[in-house]
Chain A
């Protein structure tokens, strides 16, 4: 600024730490008080990444920025696909950057990208390369990957407890390891319905619905292992392939018409990834099994609730199924469905995909708010009483989110299976029948 006729530049000091208004700031923060001159564009991290199999499209970005406003992480932080490309172009190595673990592979960027820069392939390839190169992997994720390797499920639970949930179902659930033989449908329960207490409730509700429809089905009991799609997207392709070998070996020993699963991630593995390895199974998401048969259900209990529905990324955007869940909800007497601003193709990610389920700590330290909290707020804004979901990751994520957002007193989180079961009379009706 001009002082006595002389132009004096403002003097800027950079210190290792500083306290401003009682808030301690690290060097990272107070470096932003001065402009940092870009002294080079050493784009070699970009070239190295693009050289990885599946990651070549990272180089195709021409910086239009369409992806950033639809990236769920960018809304709560500084991450976005275009920005990832930009940082790589400037020489920042993604393999050593916190950004590597922020993408949930929700697929909304790819939906809008005119150059088809495919973060759903790039991120897993980059993460795999980071793991192979011995870079730091967030401990929380590392723990889950190890548990998956050891126990065949992300929760590190004993395979013997896989079918524990069946006890509370109130209807018989055929365990094919105990009662072998052909079935029409193999119910692939996957991890969170098998082991999470809230998942148990949804699994039991689903079993009662299957029972009422008289569907011939069975589960794999202790022989079931996770399909590991999120572990794959988190960078552990090797673990995914190992699991796939085991799963295929198990499936080959059983006779069934089609697989039905509540987990869009497992569904995605069977529907889109397994065929690339030559393993083809007919697979349905549970909403796809039920939707065409909804007229066969006898509803006894109108629910009188306003419900909003969260599209799971891996059922909707990745696999194109938006209608089956809605058909089920609309069939429930008394239920009013209200859509959120971001729904269907533009549904906002819960934060759980692509390994995000096991990276909440990492994500929290690099964003202002968890995606699940952001989503729950959007759900509450609609005035709905219930946030309906149909992905096993989401009940727990959104219940935590509702508490954090302070809306848990007016917004319940329920799986569509639970809502259907309630309208069908729930466990009491089964007991009375």
Chain B
């Protein structure tokens, strides 16, 4: 029997789960494949987190510092999990370092990847045109506090976001709504309008999906205070006319085609299961869903148990999730993992 809980993935979900386990009094061992903790907010160069606009680096550093302050929490970077044997209460976790760890429970927090717009069937020309960017490309600019049209080095006069790139699409196989892109596009539009006040900002959408308070945290202020124009109708292609981008689509409210020049086009790319999430399903012997995210075994009232007893999942490894849902599910996973280990210990006493 082991009291330790192994947490796989050092992003927001994994850090929170490892901290939670330690706070509940059991040792946690956090395994991260990269050289440092922080996950996607750090490695994809996020500037400010949605919807509260905290500085991403500061927020993640604070999380990591909290974890490091806990003697029961141990971190292994540059390490991946290569195998799992045994059963709940007495797992053996094999590592890429050749070591193996004894663990009572395992938590998977391997997150998501951004959709690659090169796979999009619409002609968005992401790899052809320097001024067509993704959400995380613009995040990097926002992080550097400088929004510039890549081809000219000048601030944009017109910028637009194209929603649902790589989401809600049977053709591509990504049938889900990625949940966060409407909010992130709105957040970015607010930031761009503040940074480049002369820049006109447009969001082309199929439906705006603003969960709960995002309505008044992001959508309404973007529209009412920052004069972002929301236009119903999606962009089908991004072309070049002369040296300027032209977005083409249908303005569905007017029932008319649109063909509007833009300096910058931001593709609101959605979430896909990360490579780590997909490989962990196989390594750990847990069921993924048909899309490759980890399947929660007993929804809706148990959101973090997987098909293998003693293995839990949290965050975007379970499917598209915003940060608040991620942190919540990480706490739930930590609680369930600790409870399971403790029950095992009590029974053996």
Contact = CB atoms under 8 A, between A and B. Distances in A.
Q: Is the interface of A mostly helix, strand, loop or mixed?
A: loop
Interface string A31-48: 000011111110100110
Contact of B232 (A39, A46, A59, A63): A63
A37 B241 CA distance: 15
Given A59-B224, A60-B223, A43 B256 contact: no
Contacts of A41: 200, 202, 229, 231, 258, 260
A250 B231 CA distance: 52
B256 A86 contact: no
B279 to A, nearest CB: 42
Nearest to B233: A38
Interface in A1-54: 35-41, 43, 46-47
Contacts of A37: 256-259
B297 interface: no
B229 A43 contact: yes
Given A38-B257, A40-B260, A86-B254, A62 B223 contact: yes
B220 interface: yes
26 contacts: A35-B256, A35-B257, A36-B256, A37-B256, A37-B257, A37-B258, A37-B259, A38-B254, A38-B260, A40-B261, A41-B200, A41-B202, A41-B229, A41-B231, A41-B260, A43-B229, A46-B229, A60-B223, A62-B208, A62-B223, A62-B230, A63-B232, A63-B253, A86-B254, A89-B231, A115-B220
B225 to A, nearest CB: 9
Question: Which 7 residue pairs are nearest across A and B when measured between Cβ atoms?
Answer: A38-B258, A37-B257, A37-B259, A60-B224, A43-B229, A38-B256, A38-B251
A40 B200 CA distance: 11
Contacts of A36: 256
A35 B248 CA distance: 14
Interface string A48-84: 0000000000011011000000000000000000000
A86 B233 CA distance: 13
A337 interface: no
A223 to B, nearest CB: 46
A63 B260 CA distance: 20
Nearest to B224: A60
B36 interface: no
A90 interface: yes
Interface in B210-264: 219-220, 223-224, 227, 229-232, 251, 253-254, 256-261
A268 B182 CA distance: 42
Interface residues of B, number: 21
A40 B224 CA distance: 21
Given A38-B254, A47-B227, 18 more contacts: A35-B256, A35-B257, A36-B256, A37-B256, A37-B259, A38-B251, A38-B257, A38-B260, A39-B258, A39-B259, A41-B258, A41-B260, A43-B200, A43-B229, A46-B229, A63-B230, A63-B253, A89-B229
A385 B208 CA distance: 50
A65 B258 CA distance: 21
Contacts of A40: 260-261
Contacts of B220: 60, 115
Nearest to A86: B253
Contacts of A63: 230, 232, 253
Contacts of A59: 223-224, 227
Contacts of B258: 37-39, 41
A46 B259 CA distance: 20
Contacts of B253: 63, 86
B171 to A, nearest CB: 24
Contacts of A115: 220
Nearest to B251: A38
B206 to A, nearest CB: 13
Interface string B317-338: 0000000000000000000000
Interface in A95-115: 115
B253 to A, nearest CB: 6
Contacts of B219: 62
A46 B200 CA distance: 13
A90 B254 contact: yes
Contacts of A46: 229
A63 B203 CA distance: 13
Contacts of B251: 38
Contacts of B232: 63
A47 to B, nearest CB: 6
A60 B227 CA distance: 9
